[in-house]
Amino acid sequence: MTMPITPLFAVEFEPFVAIGLILLAFVIGFAVAANYFMAVARVVNAHIGQHWKKATVLTRPLLNWERVNLFLALEALRDETPNAFRVIGMGYVNELTSALAQGMSRNSPIEYAVRPTSLTTNVKVVMCGLYLLRPSGLAPFAAMLSRTSLEVMAATAEQAQAALDRILAEAQKRNVYRGQVLVVEQAGYAPTGDGERDFQIQFHDLPKVAREEIILPEEVLKVVERNVIGLLAHAEILRRAGRGTRHGVLFHGPPGVGKTLVTKYLARACPTYTVILLTGRQLRLVRESCVLARLLQPALIVIEDVDLIAADRSQNFDTTLLHDLMDEMDGLGPKADVIFLLTTNRPRILETALAARPGRVDQAVYFPLPDHDCRRRLFAHFSQGLDLSGVDIEPLLEKTEGASPAFIAELFRKAALLAAERGERSDPLKLTTADFTNAIRELVEFGGMLTQQLLGYRTDPDAFRGGLGFQAG
């Protein structure tokens, strides 16, 4: 009789295979159970009171600059939620329903980014995270702040809409940009789903200028203040009387007469206004700046050298920005609490549909070259830290007729430099008539017509010759 032969390895390894299979089944079962208990979907279902597939999701595209305000709003509502669940990291998923369908785990790390909240402060904001919230007055809801959108999920459409409205209201209340001085920068992103181009906002350090530092005829300064500060002070009265508060003001005059200085003074004199500056490369972002002004009104939009984008159409090869500006000024409407403050050295080349049309520019203010009294005040202002006891001021006041404040400021700096070069070391620094004579000669004769135009000085080069004891070379 032949006995069956059992392979040796089968006899020796069958128990180990069985144990391995048992362990594998245990691991798989544990993983399935862990995935179930740690899944985001499970806590979302428990929080909103029904399966997420039956809930309503509202999606709002997210602009780059909105993230910090929405984060602050969600954190505030989390503070209002009793026994609030921790923020759940959502990894690189940008859609809440996709994450729930994939059975995403609650163990994903939370990604943060640092965003400024002022010139000197920053906050660490969530880039992609899920909040489970139940603040007072609202049904439980989930809110996901992702890289591209804000999504709100609740049991019903009405609850989801109420939650979204509350988040946006809290973001508006905590807006870090309100009342600040801002510049708009182009973001490196494509247009959002609703057609708005994304942009970034930078806080700007605008020096405070006191009224006493502005040397203009008093009647000119009063007109300026009435058309900006006055509108702010009496805005409510004007609104009750049915008068609009949207306003356009144009500052024009020679270079160096103080237009920029006055805009700095006005910006700081209106602390409740959000100031949006457009100069240089920011001029191409007129539309984005006006979008921001609508959201942050009351707002003051300052456009320096507006002639760079608003020249007459007959001389302007690209009128895109001109039409953007006119469309936005019209589109804001008379009830918008926005003031446009435009400056230019070349008012004659401006498009008449902008500069000569009420409803766009309502008030033009001419900044004149300083008269004799203003030049005396300028001399007193720029002589701080200097000893002018050896200088005959009166001839200087006469010889600087037609000079701008910028020219006089440079005259004093040049005279001080010449005094230092000749060895003067007194404190305060003592200047002589010769210092001013040589300073004027250097500015006028060696600088030529270009320097005179840049600093705002009369264009007759013979006006100075021989007047202060030197012979023109």
Q: Is the pLDDT of residue 222 over 50?
A: yes
pLDDT value for 456: 59
Supply the DSSP symbol for 338. Answer: E
Upper half-sphere CA count for residue 31 (Cβ side, 13 Å)? 6
Contact predicate 237/342, CB 8 Å: no
Asked if residue 34 has pLDDT above 50, the reply is: no
**What gap in Å lies between CA 283 and CA 91, rounded to an integer?**
38
Do the strands 129-133 and 122-126 form a parallel or antiparallel pair, or are they unpaired? unpaired
- 211-366: which CATH number, 3.30.390.50, 3.40.50.300, 3.40.50.10800, 2.60.40.10? 3.40.50.300
* Closest to 175 measured CA to CA, from 58, 76, 48: 76
Identify the pLDDT of residue 39: 76
Is the pLDDT confidence value at 472 over 50? no
Overall average pLDDT of the 435-452 stretch: 78
* Mean predicted confidence (pLDDT) in 442-458: 67
Least confident piece of the model among 65-74, 77-86, 114-123, 357-366: 357-366
Distance, first Cα to last Cα, the chain: 137
Handedness of CA 280, 284, 285, 286 (dihedral sign): positive
What pLDDT is stored for residue 154 in this prediction? 93
Six token digits for residue 146: 């992702």
Measured from the Cβ of residue 443, the count of other Cβ atoms closer than 10 Å reads 20
Q: Please say if the pLDDT value at position 423 is more than 80.
A: yes
Distance CA 42, CA 38 (A): 8
CA nearest neighbour of 43 among 108, 95, 105 = 105
Identity of the amino acid at 428 = P
pLDDT tens by residue, 129-158: 999 999 999 999 999 999 889 999 999 999
What residues does CATH 1.10.8.60 cover in the chain? 372-463
Tens digit of each residue's pLDDT (9 = 90 or more) over 332-362: 766 778 889 999 998 888 888 887 777 788 8
Mean pLDDT of the chain: 82
Q: Which residue has the higher pLDDT, 153 or 13?
A: 153
Q: What is the predicted pLDDT for the residue at 188?
A: 57
The C-alpha atoms of residue 433 and residue 431 are separated, in whole angstroms, by 7
Q: What is the DSSP string of 301-355?
A: EEETTGGGT-B-TTT-S--HHHHHHHHHHHHH-TTS-EEEEEEES-GGGB-HHHH
pLDDT at 322: 85
The string of pLDDT tens digits covering residues 180-208 is 999 988 765 544 444 456 778 999 988 88
pLDDT above 50 for 455: yes
Mean pLDDT, residues 244-273 taken together: 87
CB neighbour list of residue 386: distance below 8 Å, 6 or more residues apart: 412, 416, 428, 429, 430, 431
So what's the pLDDT on residue 240? 80
Rounded to 5, what percent of the chain is helix, strand, coil?
45, 15, 35
For 288-316, the pLDDT digits (tens) are: 898 888 889 889 999 999 988 888 887 77
Which CATH code for domain 372-463? Answer: 1.10.8.60
Question: pTM for this one?
Answer: 0.78
For tokens 């490196």, name the residue: 188
Distance CA 227, CA 408 (A): 28
Q: Half-sphere exposure of residue 47, counting CA atoms within 13 Å on the CB side?
A: 25
Give the pLDDT mean for 36-44. Answer: 73
Strand-strand pairing, 338-344 and 247-252 = parallel
CATH 3.40.50.300 range(s) for the chain read: 211-366
CA distance 171 to 139: 19
Helix (H, G, I), strand (E, B) or coil at 283: helix
